[in-house]
């Protein structure tokens, strides 16, 4: 009989401390393969294995492509690469970003669920927005277990809170108790692989192949969802909306993927960027209009010069409206909308 021995863990902001506490409480030998994704900048040096190795004697290192899967190992996704789990081995890829990150949590969770079904335990720790929720949903859909760090303990509560809101989570525990629960669950016998509809299984496999950077093979996600009215913030392609239970997320034809919360945050962040672009154009037009007006005045054409100076003044007033829009604009996310008191506290600190 198969054993529950695949543990996938994801975190973002505040994740290093949570990883350390979790790893520190695991026994020296665990009959399970552990996979860790931590959201990081692509230029960040991959120091997580060195940091975590101080807290365990379990071998821990960045995974490499086609590495054989072994139990009593901790595999860490390397910077700027997705880590995917296949039957018996690991793939390291440079596929499209998901939720603005590579490595991303959802591709790992999704691939583990597809390959190992109810043998998988998914764990979501501290982090912003709702990264990991879609992958955790897939783990549950394929018969696995979903564990989440208690949001009240997490350094950043949004990821655990959203996972609890969107997924039928099995356990919500502080990190110390999560470690004990993993030890209890790891190695347990599991029943037969659950039945998954052909359509759902094909969608999952398509998304795994996209994360594996196989988009040149004519893969399309459009047949698994509906075209939305939104453009991909990264490549400006049309986003396809995918629904899974109460989850709604988006993916473009080149492969970039967004949860609803991450899409909202990205769109509202880009509004400020676009406003500054408009302001730059207005300021440049003011400088040019005044320069041309000066040239006309020097050429003894005061009436024409006055028109240019007047248009420059009108542009200045428009620029002030744009500056006011920038001052009052705020990036939005589900966390900011559901916890408005946080912004009040931060504003009072400044």
Active site residue ranges? 12, 39, 131
Cα gap 94→210, rounded to integer Å: 10
Cα gap 29→51, rounded to integer Å: 19
**Cβ proximity of 79 and 40 under 8 Å:** yes
Please compute, for residue 328, the number of CA atoms within 13 A of its CA located in the half-sphere on the CB side: 6
Secondary structure of residue 303 in the 3-state scheme: helix
Long-range (24+ apart) CB contacts under 8 A made by 48-54 are 48/16, 48/19, 48/76, 49/74, 49/76, 51/16, 51/20, 52/19, 52/20, 52/23, 52/76
**Cβ proximity of 171 and 346 under 8 Å:** no
**Cβ proximity of 275 and 326 under 8 Å:** yes
Q: In 3D, which of 152, 184, 182 has the Cα closest to residue 24?
A: 182
């Amino acid at each position: 009989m198969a054993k529950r021995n695949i543990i996938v863990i994801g975190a973002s902001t505040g994740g290093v401390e949570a990883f350390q506490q979790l790893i520190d409480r695991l026994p020296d030998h665990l009959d399970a393969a552990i996979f860790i994704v931590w959201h990081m900048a692509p230029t960040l040096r991959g120091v997580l294995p060195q940091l975590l190795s101080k807290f365990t004697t379990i071998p821990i290192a960045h995974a490499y492509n086609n590495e054989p899967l072994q139990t009593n190992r901790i595999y860490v996704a390397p910077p700027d690469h997705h880590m995917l789990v296949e039957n018996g081995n690991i793939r390291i890829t440079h596929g499209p970003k998901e939720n603005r990150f590579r490595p991303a949590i959802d591709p790992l969770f999704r691939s583990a669920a597809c390959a190992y079904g109810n043998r998988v335990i998914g764990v979501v720790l501290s982090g912003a927005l709702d990264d990991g929720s879609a992958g955790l949903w897939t783990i549950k859909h394929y018969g696995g277990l979903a564990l989440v760090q208690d949001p009240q303990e997490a350094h950043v509560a949004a990821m655990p809170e959203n996972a609890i809101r969107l997924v039928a989570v099995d356990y919500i525990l502080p990190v110390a108790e999560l470690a004990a629960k993993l030890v209890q669950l790891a190695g347990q016998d599991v029943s037969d692989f659950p039945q998954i509809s052909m359509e759902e299984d094909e969608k999952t496999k398509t998304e795994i192949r996209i994360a594996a950077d196989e988009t040149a093979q004519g893969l399309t996600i459009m047949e698994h969802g509906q075209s939305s009215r939104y453009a991909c913030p990264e490549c400006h392609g049309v986003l396809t909306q995918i629904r899974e239970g109460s989850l709604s997320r988006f993916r473009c034809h080149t492969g970039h993927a967004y949860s609803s919360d991450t899409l909202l945050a990205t769109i509202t962040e880009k509004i400020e960027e676009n406003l500054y672009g408009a302001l730059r154009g207005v300021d440049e037009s003011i400088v040019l209009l005044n320069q041309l007006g000066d040239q006309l005045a020097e050429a003894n054409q005061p009436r024409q010069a006055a028109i240019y100076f007047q248009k420059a003044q009108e542009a200045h007033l428009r620029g002030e409206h744009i500056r006011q829009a920038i001052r009052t604009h705020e990036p939005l996310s589900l966390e900011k909308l559901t916890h408005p008191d946080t912004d009040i506290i931060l504003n009072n600190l400044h």
